[in-house]
Amino acid sequence: MGNQGHTTEGIRLVKEWYESGVLGEVREVHAWFDGPNFVKGPYFSIPSTFPAPTIPPPASLDWDLWLGPAKKRKYSSAYAPLTWRGWWDFGCGELGDWACHTLDAPFWSLDLDAPTRVSVINLEPIAEGFVCRSSHLKFEFPARGNKPPVALHWYDGGQHPAPPLDWDRSKKFPSSGMLMIGDKNTLMTGARPDTPRLLPNKFWEEFKLNLPAKTIPRIKGGPFQEWVRAIKNEGPLPGSNFEYSARLTEMSLVGCMAQRTNRDIEWDAANMRVTNHDGLEQIVRQPARRGWDFGAEVWRT
């Protein structure tokens, strides 16, 4: 998975600090991202009409090949080249874009897996088939061994949590970031896990004088060199290998399903099914267009 932050120093510090006990028990996580930006783009843009206006595809584009397994439709510049992320048939909105970055550190540190439930707290829709303008979701994770259950809140499109009580009110609260709230202290990062810090500031200044031991191997050269070394059997598997990234992706996609349907989702991960609504199987196992299937149900065109 292209969550480059999984190779950084920052994400290792998050996990090491949590495992040292400095946060205490973490039962609550908040993560927020200020996009999607429908005005400045470039990755999101609201079309002038729904359905999106169609035109002949550029001569340089094989439109049928670009569609791949997606249901056949006429070309629109609202889909390609950059703004496909805004359409559920092609992309997963801001949550699909940034969960692998912003939620990587808490997912790894807290040993999370698939959520059992995702609730829609607040959601602003735009049009059917198009991603929401903003949302606040609550992911619920059960206890893992001696680790307590976790409620993880995701906000996008301008929604964000209230600043924690130990936030310095003289400073502007970040437009994107992540908070792991422990019963002892709170950990904070930006949208990526590169520069973690602890709250309140007085404790942070003291903590920096006596940091916990570095127990997790460091990565030299970033994600590309990590990958090349693994191919050459000169190092371990990349940290964001299929076993890890599949679980992180599943968490994100259950959240996307809640956004897409504007419904609370109760999720049976073992059987990959929604247990509290009928009719969502076509989202969980979206059929592929004929010629692009691999044994799944096939679109007829």
Find the CATH number of the domain harbouring 202: 3.30.360.10
pTM, 2 dp? 0.95
57 part of a folded domain? no
- Which tokens belong to 244? 């890890």
Distance CA 227, CA 240 (A): 10
Q: How many domains is the chain built from?
A: 1
How far is Cα 31 from Cα 155, in angstroms, rounded to an integer?
Answer: 6
Q: Is residue 15 part of a domain?
A: yes
CB contact at 8 A, 29 and 127:
no
Give the phi and the psi of residue 6 in degrees, each rounded to 5: -70, -10
Does 23 reside within a domain?
yes
In a domain, 9, yes or no: yes
If one counts every other C-beta atom within 10 angstroms of the C-beta of residue 205, the result is 10
Among candidates 214, 26, 202, 215, which has minimal Cα distance to 112?
26
Q: Is 140 helix (H, G, I), strand (E, B) or coil?
A: strand
Neighbours of 43 (CB within 10 A): 17
- The answer to whether the bond into 200 is cis (omega within 30° of 0) is yes
Q: Going residue by residue through the chain (301 aa), what tens digit of pLDDT does each one get?
A: 889 999 999 999 999 999 999 999 999 999 999 999 999 989 999 999 999 999 999 999 999 999 999 999 999 999 999 999 999 999 999 999 999 999 999 999 999 999 999 999 999 999 999 999 999 999 999 999 999 999 999 999 999 999 998 898 999 999 999 999 999 999 999 999 989 999 999 999 999 999 999 999 999 999 999 999 999 999 899 999 999 999 999 999 999 999 999 999 999 999 999 999 999 999 999 889 988 987 656 655 5
Residue range(s) defining the domain that contains residue 153 = 4-36+92-299
188 in a domain, yes or no?
yes
Asked if residue 54 belongs to a domain, the reply is no
C-alpha distance from residue 24 to each of 18, 62, 242 (Å):
7, 54, 30
Does any domain span residue 84? no
Within a domain: 141 = yes
Cis before 142 (ω within 30): no
CA atoms within 13 A of residue 281's CA, in its CB half-sphere? 5
H or E element in which residue 118 lies? strand 117-124
